Amino acid sequence: MKLQEGVHLHFIPTEKFTTNSIKIRFAAPMKKDTVAGRVLVANILEIANADYPTSLAFRRRLAELYGARFSSSISRRGQVHFIDLTISFIREEHLLDEDSLTEKILTFLKAILFKPLAQKNAFDQHVFDIEKKNLISYLESEIEDNFYHADKELNSLFYQDSNMKIPRVATKELVEKETASTVYKAYKDMLSLDKIDIFVAGQVDQNMVVDFFKVCPLTFRNPKLVLEYQQDFSIITKEKVERKEAKQSVLEMAYHLQVLYNDVNYPALLVFNSLFGSSAHSKLFVNLREKEGLAYTIGSSIHIFSGMLRIYAGIDKNQRLKTLQLIRQQWSDMRSGYFTDEDLELSKKMLMNAATLAQDRMSTLIEQTYNHSIYGEDDLSYDKWIKSVKLVSREEVMSVAKLMKLQAIYFMEGTG
């Protein structure tokens, strides 16, 4: 349901769960100069507002709402930055009194969205200082994580667009530049410029919810969003080696993907990834970790909305060349079809089982609804997706393997 141009309300009626969930998704182009402010907005809205000006008052009100849970999260899809605000609360038929819990939840959400703890176009300085310090501390701890650091460096090598190199939670340097005023502006921009999708899942009075959001001060907006990023293939493979004080070394590789989400080859790509590196029976795990003992950890992951397949391995610094050689050999085997029918069927079965289990999560239903709102009838339903995975052939797996090209190699040599 369109509430306003760029503002949509989605109902997901279901009796699967004892709780209801409301998720408000703010979507805007991923940009270096806005990402830090948006992350800080998400953090501030999660702890205080004018009606509940302290974290204690905020959490106490959630407890009064029969233990409702509120959280914010940050993600990205292609060249789009998402801020999600989610509140989950018990369904009213499980309550003893007759009061409308949904109405109280909506009132609480209204305070979060439209009554910020701010004055003179700036967030409360005390709250802002705390959240800025917390975010910087978090980013400093992430930098010390060797795999986080390797991921960040590989992204810098792989992506041609400068905004794609920026982590979804920003960087320490970007956060340090923000002030209570600049972050308040980011909040106002989110309300007035972002594409907003509101998901209401469970059993609620839909008329009440519609009436509530119709009177919210959300005006016309039409942001240009690119949800699927794919860059041109380069004949140059970029490499970087650096030394860092650590006991373990990290090797990461990035391959260019020609397959995008909802592409006809997407199911085959998922099966390929399971066979190659994302499962316990995959070639990387069995041959490099179990047989050769080269890696403490190893695997592969698909970044389908960003055009990348990532390989990661924690290894001894002296095993870099041998590990690279064997990874390339496993890749060559996949292209040539050197995998068993049993492993092929096991991969498909594991993917289908995981998809089936995911249907019992509220978050899955919300994401499926969002995807359907983007792709319409072209989006595969759960049943069609299961069928498409089941029909993936050996030849299709070999074919998608041939579509990928190595673009970047990063090696962090541990010197500890």
Mean pLDDT of 308-322: 96
Q: Which of the two residues, 242 and 93, has the higher pLDDT score?
A: 242
- Contacts by 46-54, CB closer than 8 A, 24 or more apart: 46/70, 46/71, 46/72, 46/85, 47/127, 47/131, 48/117, 48/124, 48/127, 49/111, 49/112, 49/115, 49/116, 49/117, 50/111, 50/115, 50/116, 50/117, 50/118, 51/111, 51/115, 52/111, 53/117, 53/124
Residue 98 is predicted with a pLDDT of 59
Identify the structural domains of the chain with CATH numbers, from first to last. Answer: 2-214 (3.30.830.10), 238-414 (3.30.830.10)
Q: How are strands ordered across the β-sheet holding 249-256?
A: 238-244, 405-414, 249-256, 308-315, 295-303
Average pLDDT over residues 362-385: 91
Residue 96 predicted with pLDDT over 80: no
Question: How high does pLDDT run on average in the chain?
Answer: 95
CA–CA distance, 413 with 241 (Å, rounded to integer): 7
Average pLDDT over residues 211-240: 95
- Determine the pLDDT at residue 416: 76
% of the chain with per-residue pLDDT over 70: 100
Give the model confidence (pLDDT) of 10-68 as tens digits.
999 999 999 999 999 999 999 999 999 999 999 999 999 999 999 999 999 999 999 99
Given a contact cutoff of 8 angstroms between Cβ atoms, the answer to whether 70 and 87 are in contact is: yes
Residue-wise pLDDT tens digits, 382-410:
999 999 999 999 999 999 999 999 999 99
**What's the pTM?**
0.95
Confidence of residue 377 (pLDDT cuts 50, 70, 90): confident
